Structure 1
């Protein structure tokens, strides 16, 4: 094939690829486009365990997000703030599609919604335990073991 014909075929292929990207929204099936659409009906969770690195993050299904929000809403008001724990495990964070956010560490939950922060008390640590169990399929097995040991280290 002559060099000029090859260039035509490459240009045509790139044109088709561009047309496909425009028609499909330009994002691959597992790319950010799908994740952003999922946020409309779910929530994003993360575990704060690394220093200087992004925390491991995963999506919660709509049902998981709803049940977790109900669990946080049902907690009684608290007065103790989240402790400053330094390095290592520092809790879980959940951000819902409406912008509400819960930071969960041990028996304290800081819930922020509509710019208003509320402290909640979770003496049974049920929210933290729910997040820990839900993180298992999303974390490397060794990391899950480390996080689980840190969560359970302060169990009464």
Structure 2
């Protein structure tokens, strides 16, 4: 092997080594940037969880308050129904009242079911909104860094 060939090989090896070092430095810089963003992302995730928890707590309290109000209304209706049944004077009147009460109770149950279904759906959507927003932000941050 001649010195010219050895020098050419050494230059090629040094060029490859420099290229690998440059790529390693760039990868390290990107990794450092990603690591720096992970702290920000984690803080954002925790904040989104806290907001979602507050929304969930407030929503469950509202649903609970509504349920208590519905329960009170049901008790009031029951007491009124008992008084109405106590005032019945004929079997015909009894069966008419029974039909009216049954119809009202079924209508009320259907209405409450729909109302509660909508309320739970809205609550789930409201609770998920901060988490979804944070997830989008996380993806945007990681794409910007990468």
TM class by shorter-chain length?
0.3 to 0.5
Considering only CA atoms, is the larger Rg found in Structure 1 or Structure 2? Answer: 2
Q: TM-score, normalised by structure 2?
A: 0.36
